Structure 1
Amino acid sequence: MNKTERQLAITLELQRNKVLRAEDLAAQFETSVRTIYRDIQALSEAGVPIVGAPGQGYSLMEGYFLPPVGFTAEEAVALLMGTDFIEQKLDGEYVCAAKAARRKIEAVLPEQVREESVLVRETMRLIHVGESVAGWKEKDYLGQVRRAILERRKLSFTYLKKIPESDGKRENRREVAPYGLVLVQGNWVLIASCDLRQDIRHFRLSRMRELIVLEERFSMLPGFDLSRYRPPDDRNIRIRVRVNPDIVDKIAESANFYMEAMEGRKDHLLVTFRVRHPEELLPYILGWGEDVEVLEPETLRIRIREVVEKILKRY
């Protein structure tokens, strides 16, 4: 942070707080108290009405606001909740930026709007469950991938697939040209041109291992626009399931992405799913237990029977 940025930040902090000591400002901006004294003097000479009270600290003259931005409480809440979301989902660089942005937003709010926005925010929360070690690793990868996209540098990583290949392998080494990042159902997904597949592919950051940002540069495919990009729907396998009506809400919540149709019957529902691989739906079906029965395809019925028999042997 240079001198100009620090002095603006000091002004915003004084606007946000009634009184601040030089020692508090020095600790916050990681500088010396003497530097803070010089900054306060420079701001005063520039016309910022700073009042100093011996033994108490510095404050801004009442009624002074910088810059003159007007937000309603609802607008302030929208912006502040946005910073909450960024803190939870982006990497460290943007976490610091989000915190700084929140301090600036709170600083420019008139006291009445700030107090009202606090009351509104207390009624709404983005619930963030503590992340595992893998979650923190994903955030680290997010920062590396994000910078590689901006610098147009290729990536290399080992990718763990959800469904094994025909040879039984679940992981292989990929080299890709990263085009963009998308947050899908709480998971960061990289959209990239894959050298191995010679096509655009999607990679969940949580399944990446041994990520390396390469020196090799790339050029994006002509006409590619992440905001307009829509992946091809290659869910070509249909699965039909007889369902107990009592758990229809549970099925809709957990497997909505795969669901294609739902038909009412006298004592049950007939639900049709569309998937790329039958194995994708297997964990859901096993979780629904006796309340569902797979009608087709027969290969999935056989697969479920095999899994259940293995479970029975364990118990």
Structure 2
Amino acid sequence: MNKTERLLAIVMELQRSRVRTADELSEVLGVSARTIYRDMQALSEAGVPIIGETGTGYSLMEGYFLPPVSFTVEEAVSLLLGAEFIEKRFDPAFRLSARSSRRKIEAILSGPIREETNRIQGGIRLLQKDEMDLMIREKVNLGIIREAMLDGKKLRFAYHKRIAEADGSRVTERTVAPYGLAHDEQNGWLLLASCDLREDIRHFRVSRISGPAVTDEPFQLPDNFNLQSYRPKDTRSIRVCAIFNPEMADKVDEANNYYMETAEAREDGYHVTFRVRQPEELLSWILGWGADVAVTEPESFKNRIKEEIKKMKERY
């Protein structure tokens, strides 16, 4: 941070907080208190109305406001929540940038807008699932993935699948060309990459990646690939039908299962159809509804559920 940037940062810090000591500013900006004293002198000479009180700290004269940017309450809340989301869900480099952005936004808000924004923000919380293991692993992986993307190098990692392969294994070694990252409400961060093993573009849930490492092998992003317009191939060809307890209809809808295609309330229950690549993708989810659901087709999946229930009974 050069001197000009530091002087602007000081003014923004003083706008964000009514009073700041030299020690507090030096800690935030990563410089010595002596440097802060010199900066305060430079700001005063430049016409910035800074008030210094011994034993209290520095503040700006009432009414001084910089820069000429204004936000509505809704705009400010949107920006601050967005910054908070990045802080919680991305890697350390972006987390620091988001935190810095948030402080700058807070600094340029006028007093009444800041108070109203704080009040609204206090009633909104971004929930995190498995706040320790899952989130930490996801953040670490994101940093390494971004490094590979920026360097144009392939990535190697172990991928933990929810559904076992034909040989019973759930972990496969992958080498991929990382094309981009997307965030899905149900699955969290997803890596879109060209997989050497599958010889096609695949999606990998970042939280299921372990031991990611950037290789020395370069890759080129195809000219015809655009992350914003990319749509994955739909390879779901198997239809699964189930009837839910009608009292569960609202909860089934709220669950917003990715594979659900249609839902219809009938006299005998809430009829739902799913389309999957393999029925096992629904196994755990269906079992989670207990006696409130009955699968009607395909017959092979009904038998698979019976087998799983039998195994569960043997455990008890």
TM bracket, shorter-chain basis = over 0.9
Alignment pair present for 1:214 and 2:210: no
State the secondary structure of the residue aligned to 1:145: helix
CA shift digits 1:90-130 (9 cap, x unpaired): 11112111111111111111111111212222233323355
Q: TM-score, normalised by structure 1?
A: 0.95
Quick one: distance in 2 between partners of 1:313 and 1:62?
74
| Residues in 2 aligned to 1:296 and 1:34: alpha-carbon distance in whole angstroms | 76
Instruction: Report the counterpart of residue 113 of structure 2 in structure 1.
Output: 113
Show the 5 A alignment for 1:261-272. Answer: 261-272=262-273
Write the letter of the residue equivalent to 1:205: V
State the one-letter code of the partner of 1:284: W
For 1:116 and 1:174, locate their aligned partners in 2 and report how far apart those are by CA, in whole Å.
Answer: 49
Q: Would the aligned equivalents of 1:157 and 1:212 in 2 still touch at CA under 8 Å?
A: yes
The C-alpha deviation readout for 1:135-177, integer Å capped at 9, x for no partner, is: 2021111111122212212101111222222222222211111
Structure 1 counterpart of 2:23: 23
Whether the 8 Å contact between 2:239 and 2:273 is mirrored in structure 1 is yes
Structure 1 runs of 4+ aligned residues shifted over 3 Å read: none
> Which position in structure 2 is the counterpart of 1:74?
74
Structure 2, unpaired ranges of 5+: none
Q: Distance in 2 between matches of 1:37 and 1:220?
A: 50
Offset, 1:255 = 4.9
The match for 2:245 is: 244
Q: Is the 8 A contact 2:89 2:135 kept in 1?
A: no
Q: How does 1:77-92 map to 2 (within 5 A)?
A: 77-92=77-92
TM-score normalised over the length of structure 2 = 0.94
In the TM superposition, what whole-angstrom CA distance separates every residue of 1:228-277 from its partner, at most 9, and x where no partner exists? 01111111100111221111122222253211122333232322111111
> What whole-Å deviation, never above 9, does each CA across 1:33-55 have from its counterpart, x for those lacking one?
11111111222233322222223
Report if aligned partners of 1:255, 1:284 keep a CA contact under 8 Å in 2: no
Distance verdict in 2 for CA 1:135–1:38, change over 3 Å: same
Query: What is the deviation of 1:285?
Result: 1.4
2:289 is paired with a residue of what secondary structure?
helix
Distance of 2:302 and 2:158 partners within structure 1: 33
Q: Secondary structure at the match of 2:239?
A: strand
Give the C-alpha shift of residue 213 in structure 1.
0.9
Question: Are 2:190 and 1:180 aligned?
Answer: no
SS in 2 for 1:246: helix
1:178 positional shift = 0.5
Report the more deviating stretch, 47-56 or 277-286. Answer: 47-56
SS of equivalent to 1:34: helix
Cα RMSD for the two superposed structures: 1.6
User: What do residues 40-95 of structure 1 show as CA deviations (whole Å, max 9, x unaligned)?
Assistant: 12222333222222232212222222211011111111111111111111111121
- Equivalences for residues 271-282 of structure 1 within 5 A: 271-282=272-283
Match in the other structure for 2:32: 32
Identity %: 53
Equivalent residues in 2 for 1:91-240, closer than 5 Å? 91-129=91-129, 131-185=131-185, 186-240=187-241
Cα distance change on mapping 1:265 and 1:110 into 2, 3 Å: closer
Unmatched tracts of structure 1, length 5 or more: none
Native 8 Å contact 1:148 1:154 kept in 2: yes
Amino acid at match of 1:259: M
Distance 1:24 1:264 in 2: 62
